[in-house]
Amino acid sequence: MSSKKISLNDREVECLEGDSVLDALLREHIDIPHACREGSCQSCMMRSLEDAPPAAAQQGLKDVLRHQNYFLACLCYPQADMSISLGASPASFSECTVTAKELLNPETLLLTMECLEPMDFYAGQFVNLKRADGLTRSYSIANNRIHAHKLTFHIRRLAGGRFSEWAHRELAIGDSIAVSDPQGLCYYLPNNPDQNLLLIGTGSGLAPLAGIISEALHHGHGGEIHLYHGSREMDGLYWIEEMRQLERQYPNFHYTACVSRGDAPQGIAQGRANEVAMAALPSLKGWRVYLCGHPDMVNKAKRQAYLRGASFQDIYSDAFHVASTTLD
């Protein structure tokens, strides 16, 4: 096996036979994060920008990372020349037009946009929305990728939130707004159609979960799909009837709305969404879990799901979904 060329940004290095990508980069004094050199810490994770990396270099990575050609430099022994990057590529923006605004509840806006060019995204990912003055915030895409020209978002109004207040009060139908390339690893792939899915969200954390559910059902997902959507009080919930209709339409989809304060009306579960879910589903071995919402809920639910048998590889969340306790 001859040496291979490794291109990183504007540098090109030679990877000698028997050397890993990490060996080659460090030999040329290119400083990249690394620690264990055995694929355990995953601190040397990089991305192949062209062809898929060797399968052995993706050992231990989540399937969505493998899907996007991420690999571990310490385990990568190139079989061909490689062009690589450390992390994701810088996001670019395109213009979209606001086509509809509708209140889902008193504090949550359903914002719909039309894109001139189709957006290549996966259900559950997020984008950055940027105003003309440069103010930028991240929001989950709430629809599935079948509607590639359309993007919908659930924008919760936060007291003092510059972007959310503007979106609710001033952003008008017909206005243009800059939308970044899609980002994030909390999304659905139709690679295991019989796997059971658990989705837990609070507040506007329903947005990415709704997209994931829509995408899964479109692909004929055969495993059980359980959605638990929670709020402190009833006026924080929305799409109750829409989710119940989906439940009637698809026998493998199950929906539970939860409130954690006051008395729950008939048909609504009493308690925090994660607690209600874990009480109903004591064993999660082999399940895939999606978590979006309040940071305390997400962190606690991760531990609960793991203790009930879910693999860390199958527990998904994106940090920005849980920023609802801070001003935007």
Residue 274 lies in a domain: yes
Written as one string, the DSSP assignment of 17-57 is TT--HHHHHHHTT-----SSSSSSS-TTEEEESSSPPPGGG
* % of the chain beyond a pLDDT of 90: 76
Number of domain units in the chain: 3
The CATH number assigned to the domain holding 10 equals: 3.10.20.30
Residue 185 lies in a domain: no
Do residues 287 and 294 lie in contact, with contact meaning Cβ atoms separated by under 8 Å? no
Q: Are residues 247 and 274 in the same domain?
A: yes
d(CA 153, CA 315): 23
State pLDDT tens for residues 227-281: 999 999 999 999 999 999 999 999 999 999 999 998 899 999 999 999 999 999 9
Q: Give the helix/strand (H/E) hosting 166.
A: helix 162-169
Helices (H) and strands (E) in the chain, counts: 7, 17
Residue 188 lies in a domain: no
d(CA 32, CA 78): 18
The CATH number assigned to the domain holding 169 equals: 2.40.30.10
Do residues 48 and 71 lie in contact, with contact meaning Cβ atoms separated by under 8 Å? yes
Q: Are residues 210 and 293 in the same domain?
A: yes
Q: Are residues 167 and 272 in the same domain?
A: no
Q: Are residues 220 and 156 in the same domain?
A: no
Give the per-residue pLDDT at 71.
Answer: 94
Domain that holds residue 51: 4-85
Residue 239 lies in a domain: yes
The model carries a pTM of 0.82
User: In this structure, what are the phi and psi dihedrals at residue 193, rounded to the nearest 5 degrees?
Assistant: -65, -15
Candidates 308, 307, 66; CA nearest to 192 is: 66
Question: Which residues, in sequence order, are CB contacts of 299 under 8 Å at separation 6+?
Answer: none
- Partnered with residue 83 across adjacent β-strands are 7
State pLDDT tens for residues 91-114: 689 999 999 999 999 999 999 999
Q: Are residues 129 and 206 in the same domain?
A: no
State pLDDT tens for residues 106-143: 999 999 999 988 888 999 999 999 999 999 999 999 99
Question: Which residues, in sequence order, are CB contacts of 82 under 8 Å at separation 6+?
Answer: 4, 5, 6, 7, 15, 21, 48, 50, 51, 53, 76
